[in-house]
C-alpha cells in the first residue's frame, strides 16, 4: 500500500436534520483524526422554559424539533402528568399512542425515502432518485403523507400540532374523519409490506458490531408513547432513575452534549427497540421477519433501515387497531391539577429515547427543566461506529467511497441534529 494522505471534510452534512459536519483524516492507512461535529446553535430551551406555565410546555417543547414534535409533547406530558392528582382519561392515553404512530410513520418514511435510500441506490437526493424510481419515491411520500394526516387528525397540523394538552387532547376528532382516515391507512398496509421487503432486498453492508442497546419497554405492548427503560445489558430503569446511569458531557469541538450509559456509548432508536421488544410484535410481523430473513437481535447497524420499515408496518397496524370502533368521548381531557415537585417522563421518539424532567414550583410555574434527546445519546455510538466501520470497510478506498460510507453510517442513525443541541444539561461537568 502506497503512503497516502486523505483529508475528508464534509462541511455541511446533507440529508440529516439540522447542521453537522464531518472531518476525517487517513494517513498511511490509519485513521488519525475523526470528528463529527455539531454546530447547531444552542437555543436554550431548558432555560426559557423556566418561569412558564405547565400548560404552555407542550407548545414550547414541540418547537425543539420540527420532525418529532409529537415525541416532545408526549414525553413532556408524561413528565408533567406524573405530578397530577389523577391520570389522563383512558381514551386520551390510547389516542396519544395513535397520535404517536403518526409521527413514527411520517418520520420513518421521510428518513427512508428522502434521507437514506439515495445512498443505497446511488443518488444525491430523493428528487433525483424519483426520476428512475418513481414508484418507490411516491410510495414513500404517500406513507409519509399518511403519517402527517394522522398527526393532523389529533393536532391540526403535522409540524407543531396544537391538539395535545395536559390531561388529554383539546379536541376529539370527529368519527367520520377517523373512519375516512382509517380506510386510507388500511389501504396503505400492502404498500408498507412492500416497503419492508424492498428495504430487506437492498444490498446493505454486512457489518456486525457490538453495542449496548437501550429502549423503552412496556409490559403489554411494543413500547412507543410510554414505558420503562430496558437495556441490552439487562437493566430495567424508571424515568426517575435515568440520571443515575446516563450522563452528559460536552465535547470541546461541538455545541452538542454527548451522553453515555455508565461510561459506555450506547444505541437508541429503531434497531435498539426492535432488538429489545421484537417479541411483542403482532403475528403478521413475525411472519414478515421470517419472510425477509431478519434474525433478531441483529448486530448489523445497517438493519436500522429495515427496523424502520418494520416499525412503519407496526404503526399502521396499531393505528388501525386502536381506531377500530372509534367513538367520540364525552370529554377529550380531564382537568388535572399538578402538585409541586419533580416529574420525569419519557417516550420513544422515532430516533429513540427522549427523556424529560421538570420541576414545578408552588406557583405552578416551571422551576427547572432538563431534556435529553435521542441524538445526543447516539452521538458517542456514531463516532465509535464510524471508527469501526471505516476501518472494516478499508481505509484504502478512495476519498469518495470513504466519504459515502461515512455519510451512510451517520445517516443510518437518522441523527436529528436540530434537537441534538437544544437539550443541554444544567449540571456542570467536571473539567
Partner 1 sequence: MKSLMTKPRIAVHKFSSCDGCQLAFLNLGEALLQLNAQVDILHFLEAGMSDAEADVDIAFVEGSLSTPDELDRIRQVRAHSRYLVTIGACATSGGLQALRNLDGNHDDWRDAIYARPEFIHTLKHVKPVAAEVKVDLELWGCPVSSAQVLAAVRALLFGVAPVDDRDRVCLECKRQQAVCVMVTQGVPCMGPVTRTGCGALCPRFGRDCYGCYGPSETAQTDTLARRFAGLGLLPDAIARRFLLINSQAPAFLQTGRVFHRSPARAQPPGDQDD
Feature table: binding site:
46, 65, 68, 371, 416, 419, 422
For the chain, the maximum distance between any two Cα atoms, rounded to a whole number of angstroms, is 75
Three cell numbers, residue 264: 459506555
Question: From the list 189, 232, 255, 300, which residue makes contact with partner 1 (rule: CB under 8 A)?
Answer: 255
Using the rule CB under 6 A, is 42 a contact of ligand SF4? Answer: no
Stretch that binds partner 1, among 110-118, 281-289, 300-308, 378-386 (CB under 8 A): 110-118
Residues 6+ apart with CB under 8 A from 151: 70, 99, 102, 103, 106, 157, 158, 161
Q: Pattern of binders to ligand SF4 over 406-425, x per CB under 6 A?
A: --------------------
291 vs 299: CA distance, rounded Å: 19
Angle at 111 between CA 107 and CA 116, to 5 degrees: 170
Minimum gap (Å) between residue 131 Cβ and partner 1: 9
Using the rule CB under 8 A, is 19 a contact of partner 1? Answer: yes
Residues 6+ apart with CB under 8 A from 319: 98, 101, 102, 105, 150, 182, 185
Which one of partner 1, ligand SF4, none interacts with residue 69, CB within 5 to 8 A by kind?
partner 1
38 vs 18: CA distance, rounded Å: 9
Neighbours of 105 (CB within 10 A): 31
Under rule CB under 8 A, how many of the chain's residues touch partner 1? 75
| Helical spans, DSSP H, in 82-125 | 90-110, 117-121
Using the rule CB under 6 A, is 162 a contact of ligand SF4? Answer: yes
Three cell numbers, residue 169: 387532547
Question: From the list 27, 63, 142, 245, which residue makes contact with ligand SF4 (rule: CB under 6 A)?
Answer: 63
Phi, psi of 116 (to 5 degrees): -90, -45
Which one of ligand SF4, partner 1, none interacts with residue 29, CB within 5 to 8 A by kind?
none
Using the rule CB under 6 A, is 171 a contact of ligand SF4? Answer: no
Q: Pattern of binders to partner 1 over 48-67, x per CB under 8 A?
A: x---xx--x--xx--xxxxx
Of residues 300 through 339, those in contact with partner 1 by CB under 8 A are none
Stretch that binds ligand SF4, among 124-132, 156-164, 289-297, 302-310 (CB under 6 A): 156-164
Binding-site entries for Fe cation: 68, 419
Using the rule CB under 6 A, is 55 a contact of ligand SF4? Answer: no
Question: From the list 28, 86, 177, 253, which residue makes contact with partner 1 (rule: CB under 8 A)?
Answer: 253
106 vs 236: CA distance, rounded Å: 29
Amino acid at each position: 500500500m502506497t503512503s497516502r494522505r486523505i483529508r475528508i471534510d464534509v462541511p455541511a452534512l446533507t440529508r440529516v436534520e439540522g447542521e453537522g459536519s464531518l472531518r476525517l483524516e487517513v494517513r498511511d492507512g490509519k485513521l488519525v483524526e475523526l470528528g463529527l461535529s455539531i454546530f447547531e446553535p444552542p437555543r436554550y430551551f431548558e432555560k426559557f422554559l423556566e418561569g412558564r406555565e405547565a400548560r404552555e410546555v407542550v407548545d414550547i417543547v414541540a418547537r425543539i424539533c420540527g420532525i418529532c414534535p409529537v415525541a416532545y409533547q408526549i414525553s413532556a406530558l408524561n413528565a408533567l402528568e406524573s405530578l397530577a392528582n389523577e391520570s389522563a382519561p383512558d381514551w386520551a392515553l390510547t389516542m396519544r399512542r395513535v397520535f404517536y404512530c403518526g409521527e413514527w410513520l411520517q418520520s420513518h418514511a421521510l428518513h427512508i425515502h428522502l434521507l437514506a435510500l439515495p445512498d443505497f441506490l446511488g443518488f444525491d437526493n430523493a428528487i433525483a432518485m424519483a426520476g428512475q424510481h418513481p414508484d418507490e419515491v411516491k410510495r414513500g411520500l404517500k406513507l409519509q403523507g399518511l403519517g402527517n394526516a394522522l398527526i393532523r387528525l389529533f393536532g391540526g397540523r403535522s409540524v407543531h400540532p396544537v391538539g395535545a394538552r395536559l390531561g388529554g387532547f383539546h379536541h376529539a376528532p370527529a368519527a367520520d374523519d377517523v373512519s375516512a382516515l382509517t380506510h386510507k391507512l388500511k389501504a396503505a398496509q400492502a404498500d408498507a409490506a412492500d416497503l419492508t421487503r424492498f428495504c430487506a432486498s437492498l444490498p446493505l453492508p454486512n457489518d456486525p458490531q457490538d453495542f449496548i442497546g437501550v429502549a423503552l419497554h412496556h409490559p403489554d405492548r411494543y413500547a412507543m408513547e410510554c414505558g420503562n427503560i430496558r437495556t441490552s445489558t439487562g437493566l430495567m430503569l424508571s424515568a426517575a432513575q435515568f440520571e443515575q446511569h446516563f450522563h452528559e458531557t460536552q465535547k470541546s469541538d461541538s455545541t452538542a452534549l454527548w451522553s453515555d450509559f455508565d461510561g459506555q456509548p450506547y444505541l437508541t432508536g429503531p434497531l435498539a427497540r426492535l432488538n429489545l421488544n421484537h417479541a411483542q410484535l403482532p403475528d403478521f410481523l413475525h411472519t414478515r421477519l421470517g419472510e425477509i430473513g431478519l434474525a433478531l437481535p441483529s448486530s448489523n447497524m445497517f438493519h436500522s433501515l429495515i427496523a424502520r420499515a418494520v416499525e412503519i408496518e407496526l404503526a399502521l397496524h396499531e393505528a388501525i387497531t386502536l381506531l377500530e370502533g372509534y367513538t367520540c368521548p364525552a370529554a377529550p381531557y380531564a382537568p388535572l391539577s399538578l402538585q409541586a415537585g419533580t416529574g420525569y417522563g419519557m417516550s420513544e421518539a422515532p430516533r429513540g429515547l427522549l427523556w424529560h424532567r421538570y420541576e414545578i414550583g408552588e406557583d405552578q410555574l416551571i422551576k427547572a427543566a432538563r431534556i435529553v434527546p435521542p441524538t445526543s445519546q447516539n452521538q458517542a455510538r456514531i463516532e465509535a461506529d464510524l471508527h469501526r466501520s471505516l476501518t472494516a470497510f478499508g481505509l484504502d478506498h478512495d476519498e469518495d467511497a470513504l466519504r459515502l460510507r461515512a455519510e451512510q453510517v451517520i445517516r443510518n442513525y437518522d441523527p436529528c441534529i436540530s434537537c441534538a443541541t437544544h437539550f443541554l444539561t444544567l449540571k456542570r461537568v467536571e473539567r
